[in-house]
């Protein structure tokens, strides 16, 4: 297996606590919830950020974790790589252009392996609906305690609805103040129709000064200040 290093980020205590709460909630969903998909209504609500942090956090508990970037249309996970070259990813593997072992990378985070999306294919939906994808998830299930899947937004493209049936549970990320109630409900309904249980909703980018009353109802997150500071 090839190896990469993720950029090391010290999360502020407050944010780490939020991620730990989400991790605990996932664990309490039951031992049978191993393959977990993250999706959202639209782009940019925080799926990839949250999926990566949760995957890292689970690996800290001595769990073997595989993080799979299934957002074949738009992947930013690769921007988190500090060292190492990524040559192959999920799209290469699904199109039969590389072996499974060449698409999965060991990382500098103990017990965390990652598969990047690979080049944007012309037919992402077809690739994700194929037998090869199903079999890949089954073999990851054997080799890892958790498989965290970062998927495209269910409110925009069909991919997440195709991926959900091979997962044990889904998590819907909702960006606070951006998504209308009706849109959130229709995205949730799409997830419900897949038959895979929705484990929870993450209300992300919460402005606690403005919207304190929502906090506690969902797995609230307080990333905003930290990320704003880092983007300046």
Q: Are 7 and 210 in contact (CB under 8 A)?
A: no
Output 23 or 205, the one with its CB closest to ligand ATP: 205
Residue closer to Mg ion by CB (options 38, 146) is 38
Q: Which of 147, 142, 129, 133 is nearest to 38 (CA)?
A: 147
d(CA 171, CA 74): 19
Measure the CA–CA gap between 15 and 35, rounded to whole angstroms: 24
**Closer residue to ligand ATP in complex, CB, 73/141:** 73
The reply on whether position 204 binds Mg ion by CB under 5 A is no
What contacts 228, CB < 8 A, 6 or more positions away?
none
CB of 41 to Mg ion, least distance (A): 13
Footprint on residues 36-55 left by Mg ion (CB under 5 A): 47-48
On the CB side of 79, how many CA atoms lie within 13 Å of its CA? 5
Nearest distance, CB of residue 160 and ligand ATP, angstroms:
11
Which of the choices ligand ATP, Mg ion, none does residue 176 contact, using the CB cut-off of 5 to 8 A by kind?
none
How many residues sit in the footprint of ligand ATP (CB under 6 A)?
Answer: 18
Residue window 69-88: x/- pattern of binding to ligand ATP, with contact defined by CB under 6 A: --x--x-x------------
Angle between helices 47-59 and 13-28 (to 10 degrees): 80
How many other CB atoms sit within 10 Å of the CB of residue 52? 23
Window 152-171: residues binding ligand ATP (CB under 6 A) = 153
What residues make contact with ligand ATP under the rule CB under 6 A? 40, 43-49, 71, 74, 76, 153, 204-205, 221, 223-224, 227
């Amino acid at each position: 297996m090839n190896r990469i290093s993720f950029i090391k980020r010290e999360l502020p205590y407050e944010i780490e606590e939020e991620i730990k709460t989400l991790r605990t909630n996932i664990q309490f969903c039951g031992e049978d919830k191993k393959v977990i998909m993250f999706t959202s209504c639209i782009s940019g609500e925080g799926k990839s950020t949250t999926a990566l942090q949760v995957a890292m956090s689970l690996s800290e508990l001595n769990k073997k974790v595989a993080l799979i970037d299934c957002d074949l249309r738009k992947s930013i996970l690769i921007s988190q790589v500090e060292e190492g070259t990524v040559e192959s990813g999920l799209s290469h593997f699904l199109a039969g252009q590389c072996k499974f072992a060449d698409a999965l990378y060991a990382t500098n985070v103990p017990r965390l392996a990652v598969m990047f999306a690979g080049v944007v294919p012309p037919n992402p939906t077809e690739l994700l609906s194929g037998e090869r994808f199903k079999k890949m998830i089954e073999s990851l299930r054997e080799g890892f305690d958790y498989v965290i899947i970062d998927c495209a937004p269910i409110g925009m493209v069909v991919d997440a609805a195709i991926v959900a049936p091979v997962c044990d549970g889904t998590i819907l990320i909702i960006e606070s103040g951006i998504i209308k109630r009706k849109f959130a409900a229709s995205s949730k309904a799409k997830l419900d129709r897949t038959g895979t249980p929705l484990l929870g909703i993450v209300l992300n980018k919460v402005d606690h000064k403005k919207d304190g009353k929502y906090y506690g109802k969902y797995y609230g997150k307080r990333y905003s200040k930290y990320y704003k500071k880092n983007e300046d």
